[in-house]
Amino acid sequence: MSLFMRSIELDKIDDNNFFYRNYFHFILLFLLICICYSNALQNEWHFDDYPNIVNNDNIHIKSLSWTEVSEGIFTPERKISRPLAFLSFALNYYLSGFDTTGYHLVNISIHIACTFFVYLVFVRTLVILSQNNEENKQPLLSNHDIALLAAALWAIHPVQTQAVTYIVQRMASMAAMFYMIAFYSYLCFRTSEKSSRWSFLLLAFLFWTAGVGTKENAILLPLSLLAYEVAFFKLPGGRAIIYIFFAGIVIALGSMLVLSGRGTGIFEAIIDPYEGRPFTIGQRLLTQPFVLCRYLLLILYPTNHLLTPGSDMFLARSLFDPPSTFMTLFLISLLLAFSIIYLKKFPLLCFAVLFFFLNHLIESSFIGLELYFEHRNYLPSVFIYLALAYYLLHAILHYRSQAKTFLSGLLSIALTVVLVSEGNGTYLRNEIWKDEVTLWTDAADKYPLSLRSYGVLSAEYIKRKEYDTALEYFYKAEKLAIDHPERYQKNWIASLYVNAGNIFVAKSMSNENDSAKAIDLFMNSLEYEPNNWQAHVNLGVLFFKQNDLKNAIESLEKALSVRNGDPFIYNLYGRILYAYGELERSIQVFSAGIKIGKRDDLILNLSSSYFRKGEMQLAKQELSKIDNDHKNKVYVLLKALIFTEIEKKEALKNISSELFLKNINICDWINEYYKDNSHEVIHPDISSLTGDLIQAYIEIIDQALTDVNNEIHKMEQITF
């Protein structure tokens, strides 16, 4: 807030329209964004939201203690990557759990804050531009009005929905917010003549660091500022070379710091992502010119057909295969050459082009990321909208000054239509982001060769228990994988078979033959991706249910070798070791899992293991770590087995009361208890409790009969 107030003081000139030029413009932008994103608040989780937020136990904090909050910065793999983004998810979880409304409110708020600073950067840039233009010291158009139009065009453009509505892509929007605050702080430093100006440089550095801590592409800010210096502050070429050298050093050091947090080197960061990709580093570099041109087309012409997370992006095989590879590379070369040569002559236009390409350097270069995503345009597209607004408004003014009212009117109407269309497009796009079915059905309709779309739809219909529909999408995806195996990542195909296996696991409840089909499908998955931990886990569970404990143990060991930071897998592995009679090993595994994540099932199983071993004090110590849960039968039974006689009677009474209220026969319940061979929670031996449990149940019945007789007696007295 202090930065915002200080910026107003710096911008405040002798102007009667000060309120209109600043606060009113912020209010307009705020209202525009709120209207366009008003229908996104109830939208559900999507795709990468699940591993990063929903299933990421690290961010599921229950208090604001330092211990828990510090856990919230870790990725699901227990690495420090984008810590500020994960911390924001952790705080969101603390406040609203899994209710997506709170997450969407934060995302929209970040977008609003980012828009405000985009606006301020635009105003400051236009002021500098007008000061440099000797022929136009008094611009005919207000810099604030041009900035307002440009910021609005950027903020409500439908291409931004993926960065705003897709919850996990807060990483992109939040990094851009810090980036633009740092950018604005730097401009304040460069344009202020007061002694306190150096504080703005410090702020720029701090917010830049925050941006890098949110998403790695914010590290490119020094290069953008260097291009800005040349374009608007007329930095000489010789000094620019020196600045490039220092900017390179800063970026290199920053990159090394980021990678050290992730526990990887530069070479590994570049090469490792290519594992499993259906393209090489050369093919990716050849494909990116087309991708960048498509991004530009999407910004200038956001047709609904291009807006999708599941685009079927083709792969360039050589410079002329397909021909569009050379054409797009030639076009980009022309744009870059023009922008570099004429950067000082046409600073706004040329800087907008350079800013776009500079800020795509990380995600559209040699690093083995996926080829295409809309949210990658969120930051790089910023200055393109300023150039568009600037030249369109000046064209309107030019035609008006030339008495060409038809042309000026036509452009004004066109600009109005564009703004309305953008807002409407964003609102409609948010409707499509409502849930996984609406989003990926739309993607599959637009791109029938998108294997990912069918895979996600299959997984979603499994969650809804609509297994036949899920199988239909699986068979469509499988046909694509068989017909075009070179087009798709092997891990995508592996995930398809895991989903299909899960369908038959669910159906095996009524048909044992489906278990064999599920095992075959999980095996198919491992042919495409031998390290698919989900396939190994599911095979372990199926082998356990078939009492094939050796194969179950082997499957879980393979799963742990791939994913050794998941307490869920430790719990399954320990449970199977317990069933196999490896009591000491199971205790070690449960204890190791608890160190990673304190899950109740892990604690219950560890307590059961100690009970079986006869170490009652340790069993009691572990069970005491769980809050009283009268509805959890294993917890209550363990309490009856290992605590005092008074607590034992209370526990048995709780179970008996629950059974009586649900009209469940105690003998039937005991028989079902012994039959329930859960793969998640150990059912301790309760043979020593059976007699006491039946007696407690009889006492509950007797008490109920006594209460009924007493009520009848009272009623008879009243009647008499």
User: What angle do helix axes 281-300 and 323-341 make, rounded to 10 degrees?
Assistant: 70
Contact 343, 351 (CB under 8 A): yes
What pLDDT was estimated at residue 10? 47
Distances (CA, A) of 91 to 46, 94, 171, 406, 713: 19, 5, 15, 54, 59
pLDDT of 488 strictly over 90: no
In this prediction, residues 670-683 reach a mean pLDDT of: 81
What pLDDT was estimated at residue 384? 97
What pLDDT was estimated at residue 710? 78
Reduced to 3 states (helix: H, G, I; strand: E, B; else coil), residue 343 is coil
The percent of residues in the chain predicted with pLDDT above 90, rounded, is 52
Distances (CA, A) of 85 to 59, 106, 257, 707: 11, 12, 17, 59
Q: Is 487 exposed, middle or buried (0-12, 13-18, 19+ CB in 10 A)?
A: middle
What pLDDT was estimated at residue 19? 58
In the structure, what pLDDT confidence band is assigned to residue 251 with cuts at 50, 70 and 90? low
Asked if the bond preceding 322 is cis, omega within 30° of 0, the reply is: yes
What pLDDT was estimated at residue 523? 95
pLDDT of 512 strictly over 80: no
Distances (CA, A) of 426 to 102, 291, 678: 20, 22, 47
- Which of the given ranges, 3-12, 111-120, 619-628, has the highest pLDDT on average? 111-120
DSSP letters for 161-219? HHHHTSGGGHHHHHHHHHHHHHHHHHHHHHH--STTHHHHHHHHHHHHHHHHTT-GGGG
Residue 683 lies in a domain: yes
Residue 620 lies in a domain: no
What pLDDT was estimated at residue 1? 45
Both structure tokens of 637: 């039974």
What whole-number distance in Å separates Cα of residue 342 and Cα of residue 335? 11
What pLDDT was estimated at residue 398? 84
In the structure, what pLDDT confidence band is assigned to residue 138 with cuts at 50, 70 and 90? very low
In this prediction, residues 605-627 reach a mean pLDDT of: 89
**Boundary (domain end) residue, out of 403, 428, 453:** 428
Closest Cα to residue 10, out of 150, 176, 203, 140? 203
In this prediction, residues 545-560 reach a mean pLDDT of: 94
Residue 322 lies in a domain: yes
- CA torsion through residues 306, 312, 317, 320, sign: negative
pLDDT of 375 strictly over 90: yes
pLDDT of 312 strictly over 80: no
In this prediction, residues 293-315 reach a mean pLDDT of: 86
Contact 183, 221 (CB under 8 A): yes
pLDDT of 676 strictly over 90: no
Residue 610 lies in a domain: no
pLDDT of 203 strictly over 90: yes
Q: Is 231 exposed, middle or buried (0-12, 13-18, 19+ CB in 10 A)?
A: buried
Q: Which segment of 59-68, 616-625, 648-657 scores lowest on mean pLDDT?
A: 648-657
Average pLDDT, the chain: 86
> What residues contact residue 90 under an 8 Å CB cut-off, 6+ apart?
58, 59, 60, 61, 69, 71, 72, 73
> What residues contact residue 83 under an 8 Å CB cut-off, 6+ apart?
73, 74, 213, 261
Residue 309 lies in a domain: yes
Q: What are the two backbone dihedrals, phi and then psi, of residue 662, each rounded to the nearest 5 degrees?
A: -90, 5
pLDDT, one tens digit per residue, over 557-592 is 999 999 888 899 999 999 999 999 999 999 999 999
**Boundary (domain end) residue, out of 428, 459, 479:** 428
Closest Cα to residue 362, out of 570, 216, 208? 216
Both structure tokens of 248: 């390179």
pLDDT of 279 strictly over 80: yes
Closest Cα to residue 432, out of 420, 450, 421, 444? 444
Who has greater pLDDT, 655 or 189? 189
- For residue 135, the tally of other CB atoms under 10 A from its CB is 4
pLDDT of 234 strictly over 70: yes
CA dihedral 325, 331, 337, 339 (to 10 degrees): -130
Place of tokens 């054409």: 327
Who has greater pLDDT, 678 or 247? 678
pLDDT of 673 strictly over 60: yes
In this prediction, residues 144-171 reach a mean pLDDT of: 96
The percent of residues in the chain predicted with pLDDT above 70, rounded, is 89
What pLDDT was estimated at residue 98? 95
- Which of the given ranges, 77-86, 253-262, 422-431, 702-711, has the highest pLDDT on average? 422-431
**Boundary (domain end) residue, out of 404, 428, 452:** 428
Contact 386, 118 (CB under 8 A): no
pTM of the complete model: 0.83
- Which of the given ranges, 181-185, 503-507, 632-636, has the highest pLDDT on average? 181-185
What pLDDT was estimated at residue 102? 96
What pLDDT was estimated at residue 690? 82
What pLDDT was estimated at residue 76? 66
> What residues contact residue 190 under an 8 Å CB cut-off, 6+ apart?
233
pLDDT of 13 strictly over 50: no
Structural domains counted in the chain: 2
In this prediction, residues 323-349 reach a mean pLDDT of: 94
pLDDT of 302 strictly over 70: yes
In this prediction, residues 470-486 reach a mean pLDDT of: 92
pLDDT of 115 strictly over 90: yes
DSSP 628: P
Residue 567 lies in a domain: no
pLDDT of 310 strictly over 90: no
Contact 541, 533 (CB under 8 A): no
Contact 166, 53 (CB under 8 A): no
Q: What are the two backbone dihedrals, phi and then psi, of residue 17, each rounded to the nearest 5 degrees?
A: -100, 30
User: What angle do helix axes 100-132 and 221-232 make, rounded to 10 degrees?
Assistant: 30
What whole-number distance in Å separates Cα of residue 310 and Cα of residue 593? 36
- For residue 26, the tally of other CB atoms under 10 A from its CB is 17
In this prediction, residues 256-262 reach a mean pLDDT of: 56
Who has greater pLDDT, 579 or 699? 579
What pLDDT was estimated at residue 254? 62
Residue 446 lies in a domain: no
What pLDDT was estimated at residue 245? 61
Contact 311, 372 (CB under 8 A): yes
DSSP 620: H
**Residues in the chain, overall count:** 720
Residue 531 lies in a domain: no
> What residues contact residue 55 under an 8 Å CB cut-off, 6+ apart?
76
- Which of the given ranges, 159-163, 412-416, 651-655, has the highest pLDDT on average? 159-163
Place of tokens 């930051």: 379
Q: Which residue range is the domain that position 701 belongs to?
A: 627-720
Distances (CA, A) of 713 to 119, 701, 717: 81, 18, 6
What whole-number distance in Å separates Cα of residue 528 and Cα of residue 526? 5
What pLDDT was estimated at residue 4? 45
Contact 360, 292 (CB under 8 A): yes
Residue 323 has, within 13 A of its CA and on its CB side, a CA count of: 0
